[in-house]
Chain A
Amino acid sequence: MPKKKAKDRQGVVEKTEGTISRRSVLKIGAVAGAAGVLAPNMLTSNEALGFQQTIAEPVTCANGQPSPPHHPFVQNFAAPFPADDHPLNPQPTEFANLGAGEADRAAHPRWAQFAPAHFTYDVSAAPGLHTFHPDFSPTYLWTFNGQFPGPTIFGKYGKSGIVRFRNNLPVTTTTFGRNEITIHLHNGHHGSESDGFAGDFFGTGFWKDNLYPNVYAGIDTFPGNPGGDGVGNPQEKMGSFWYHDHRAEFTLNNNVLGLNGMYIVYDSTDPGHENPSAGSLQLPGYYGVTDFPIELVDHRFCATANGRTELVNAAGGDKFIVNGMLQPKMTVRRRKYRFRILNTGPTQTYDLTLIKPDGSVGTMVVIATDANFLEHPIPVDAGANAGNSNSTTAPIVPGGLRVSVAERFDVVIDFAEFPAGSKLYLKENRTMFVGNPSPDPLPPGLNIGNVLMQFNVVNREPWFPVDTPPIPSTLCTYPTQPTTDNTWEWQFVLVGGRFRVKRPFDTVGCTFDPDHSAHCMLQGTTEEWLLNNNIASGWTHPVHIHFEEGRTLKRFVNGVEVPVPPLHSGRKDVYRLEAGQGALIKMSFRDYSGRYLIHCHNMAHEDNFMMVRWDIVPDQAALDACVADQQICEAEMLAKENYREEVA
């Protein structure tokens, strides 16, 4: 090959990586020219169309091989970088600003009440390169603002926020993702136009404002709270949210590619600092210092011909990733730390234990389940508190904290009891492929393949925040739920090889229909829902209900009532139903009307449409209309029966 050509090719790579090449700028010009107009605000909104030229898409890699080996405990554990609060241009509007490139949506409800937003964030979904481990080459991902996991977004109760999600994904892609997004804040209390409804996805080059009022539920009944916490019932407080793509049929693909991140909301009880202040519980609370998300995901990697280490599209990887790192080490001082554990999926359930230097199981004190404080903290360990395992089946792992997809557990770990120099480990029950021995001798019985991360205990330096007071024995009181207006049942079933959601009167079940609601209810009503995974199929269905938090009244195993496990007794939004399990939950539907979803959060299942839409409607007339237009899931089965008779 002539030398000059090779050099040229090298030059092209250098020029295009990281900057908008001249060619792509010309392309943008050509596009705008074709539109007949060259509006500056249009270009601003979609400036990152240039991204499309900068990062080459991955080349396909062979499936079925183990990932490359890596060396444990090389990276330093860190919290994902926070998003910048910065002004939006153009200004957010109540009605969709289509003229400036916003995707179509319904008007923001309660606009007069919550605008202008106190926080504004500009978050762009775009390709990026992320290095999971120094032993690996960079990996092509779809990221928010170029980082993985996505930037942590902060909010405060009483101060509304608008996040402008831009779709700057490639116009054409050879990856397994789909370049259309709809971002769901899990599990925010806001209008359905900002909820990331699975059918509301929008394409490349457009953006959409999600209005997150950051209010407690019960807006109209609690007009104001002290301490600047805004409206709503403070007993409805939530903290650890996360945001992720919810594109129908492609949620798994887009999340595996990296479209998710954490969203943390503070209030006066949980103010994001540790200083004594009115109402503060004084929990470990400095983000990135004593308060860390642990965002879990599993991936399979392969080294590809283009010199990168790329993802293999396989649900169920052989590397367990913690905050975008592989088996990181974390230096902890002899004091309390808060960890917000989140399983971002896509499909696997984690059983986490804290392993002490002597190989025994340590204590993790659970303070919140799915973003909601527990009334009383619940310690989990293998000894006296082993019964606090949050499963209704026999103990899976003694002292294990079971985390299915989308569940969050806020835990406090106290490292004060361990002398400096101790090493503790966060263990996962499944084994990953490491390929290298541990540099440090592991506690007896611990296999390096089960280690998610290592904690190195050191003495607290003078500059490091002093320990917080003991965790209060009462963190909150649960709100009193109104009397039940209606009962309802959802069954999560597998019919003819397809995942379905079944209503009481269905014989088959429903798949996702964005145009029709499977269940309608009046705003302000309270319902008891029986969630049932009544096929002993071996599948775990982490059932997620958008918009409202519920309380578990009863749990069932194969139809027989069993005591509610302590960690399911609090307020939750993901109800883990293992094979044969059921849960009776109660929730009120308040403040907003619109389209919301109930679905299995195993992303492979929701993409196969184990998901239905339910609606909250404002008045009786709307209820009648909703019921009249309700989703019909029967005809197909009837037809199939006819068909089967004839074929046979």
Chain B
Amino acid sequence: MDRRELLSRVFEPHPASPGVTRYTNAVLRTQDNEAVKFYDDLIRGKQCVINFMYAECHGSCPAVTQTLKTIYRELKPRMGKDLFFYSITIKPENDTPAALKHYAEMRNVDLPGWYFLTGDPNDLKTIRYRLFNMDHPGLDSDLALHSGYLRIINDGRNSWGMAQAFASNRNILRRIAWQDPPKSYAERVIESRARQILIDEEVKKYGYRRDVMS
């Protein structure tokens, strides 16, 4: 992140954000063994994509990690600035920060803005419950149930959504974009006008628009 951006960037939570009452402020550790507060440091005012995994997993976790790695490339300019990936372990007893560091390095995903998190098992259970709560004790205690989902949060606009981790990359990117910070009216007007010029050219040339799907 360049210095000017760092200084000018203010992560403002939405006035209606439930804050720590939903997300908790549990202290977690990153793959670099930094202590972070879950709400204050990771969620507050930011947009993030959260999944659950563990390092020794050989089934779906590497596949989800691979998917995230692919979409990371698309989102690179924003990563670590206003968009973050959090991969939270469900086996904190095995996954020390060092183990997660190893996992991340091995898969070439030790990247800016992508944190692998571990912490107190009960804290992680609470967080998992808060993010994927289905009000069903049996389902909520099933560790396997959330492996296929990504929770997308934007605390700055108090919104959250979900994506299926095995949907197409195009779909996941769209789901993330659905929670993007709203562009200002001015920005959208500028975009619209630029787009209008393209439309006019295409319509003039072909008689129809080629860039829109049916």
Contact = CB atoms under 8 A, between A and B. Distances in A.
Interface string B95-109: 000000000000000
B60 A171 contact: no
B68 to A, nearest CB: 14
A31 B208 contact: no
B61 A643 contact: yes
Contacts of A32: 186
Contacts of A95: 199, 203, 209
Query: What size tier do the contact residues of chain A reach?
Result: 35 or more
Contact of A639 (B134, B166, B189, B213): B166
Contact of B144 (A49, A622, A632, A643): A643
B161 A34 contact: no
B24 to A, nearest CB: 20
Contact of A203 (B57, B60, B188): B188
Interface stretch (A13-21, A75-83, A271-279, A511-519): A511-519
Contacts of B193: 98-99
Contacts of B196: 97-99
B75 interface: no
A34 B188 CA distance: 11
A35 B186 contact: yes
B170 interface: yes
Contact of A205 (B143, B188, B199): B188
Contacts of B147: 639-640, 643
A25 interface: no
A497 B139 contact: yes
A174 B144 contact: no
A63 to B, nearest CB: 13
Nearest to B160: A249
Interface stretch (A100-108, A444-452, A541-549, A573-581): A100-108
Most B-side CB within 10 Å, residue of A97, A206, A497, A514: A497
Interface string B172-190: 0010001000111110111
Given A497-B145, A636-B165, A640-B147, A104 B195 contact: yes
A511 B167 CA distance: 10
Contact of A640 (B90, B148, B178, B208): B148
A647 B144 contact: yes
Given A95-B209, A98-B196, A99-B192, A106 B214 contact: yes
Interface string A230-259: 000000000000000000110000000000
Interface of A: 31-32, 34-37, 42, 46, 49, 60, 95-99, 101-102, 104-107, 171-174, 178-179, 192, 199, 203-206, 248-249, 496-498, 511, 513-516, 593-595, 615, 617, 622, 632, 635-637, 639-640, 642-648
Given A104-B212, A107-B208, A496-B139, 15 more contacts: A31-B184, A95-B203, A99-B196, A105-B212, A107-B212, A172-B157, A174-B14, A496-B142, A497-B134, A497-B136, A594-B214, A632-B166, A632-B168, A643-B60, A647-B90
Q: Which 10 A-B pairs have the closest CB atoms?
A: A642-B59, A639-B60, A174-B16, A644-B144, A99-B196, A635-B166, A98-B192, A35-B186, A636-B148, A34-B186
24 contacts: A31-B186, A36-B190, A95-B203, A106-B209, A174-B14, A199-B174, A204-B182, A205-B188, A498-B134, A514-B171, A593-B214, A595-B213, A632-B168, A635-B166, A636-B165, A637-B148, A639-B59, A639-B165, A642-B59, A643-B57, A643-B59, A643-B147, A646-B58, A646-B59
